Structure 1
């Protein structure tokens, strides 16, 4: 089983490197559906996994100066308190009970479907926004929307471990359409580091992290992400994203059923 986890980590890392879609959209459903890991443990382990891998990504983007730190602070102002409150709610409700596990399973399915929407319609939403500049938020309204976005993503990520990748990046594109793709990616990764770290600490407190599983996943994922990032330009992006969208839709349907 250990070898299987390493291979799974490699496959997820490879896809993340190729497509840029957050690992949670792939890893959490994989652990739940294929390996029978309980939803709570799958979420907690994936959050710890994400906090480590995204830290390395943030360092790279910082060196390239592709992080908008002011936006990161606004997102964290909403996301971090929301993550703490969501953790306390899980503790109160019983994070590893069968009933809460089923609710988390449904939350994962909804988050996966939101990821599919982000993958398929991001370009169209951006094109519409560029065609209607009067719809773009400015000033305090933009700051408030960014904080609220952080809060929503904080709850979503803490409960399902999904949201800080494709969904977060898509919302950033909508809020900041003039921000370059590199800065969108860097900012999205940078704010996700403290968010996933706090959420992971919360799940450690709840007892829903499998550390042995985490180690084996990292062994496979780190080289997978590296290879995928290097090969990204050689693979047709539309084909990959289309296959990914179909796969994630099937995963969401399976989780709901």
Structure 2
């Protein structure tokens, strides 16, 4: 698939590029620390809306490219200046990303703080560079995390670690994040984007319907009692039996060749 850049929507806080079955969402204001403000939230929603109907996109990669830091968090000046701000809406700031049916990989380098960490938590898989630093410092400001941090962090690393990080605001490094399960791998800074793209290509080579259903099974199943979640997994498995991709996967295995999945 040739590289394309979505002409719509017009984006400034982020960049959207589609290449080789991967949609690249890149935070694009590194000189400001990639602040989370109304523009970034709106553009992220627009980017997700542009990705959703595109059958060529099989996986999404969120990063800050080669910027020194992934995201320093909220634009506090915006939050303080916007007298009409719906604070309740901030909890849904990253829902368009979290609800994408395709897998979303996040590559983090440098500081990933406050809303930056909440953005990363809205992704399915996180990898980071050795210099990555993570924190939710809001309690030190008399607040709690505003965009799902308390809930998604607990689901990612468990109640105990989430409580520790939220209550203390403690900043942790890459190896600590790996140990608690916040990230799946730690790589050298210069290798981060290469490794992230390799991971995305690996996912994109797999059956796209199966990958979407697998994400759905994990995501929704975690919110269900185990017995109900197992039934849900079975239901998705039964649906997959009717797809062309499932038949192609079996044929390719028997013929000892790579499968050619079409997403049908």
Q: So what's the TM-score if we normalise by structure 1?
A: 0.26
Which entry has the higher C-alpha Rg, 1 or 2? 2
Which structure has the highest helix share of the two?
1
Which structure has the highest strand share of the two?
2
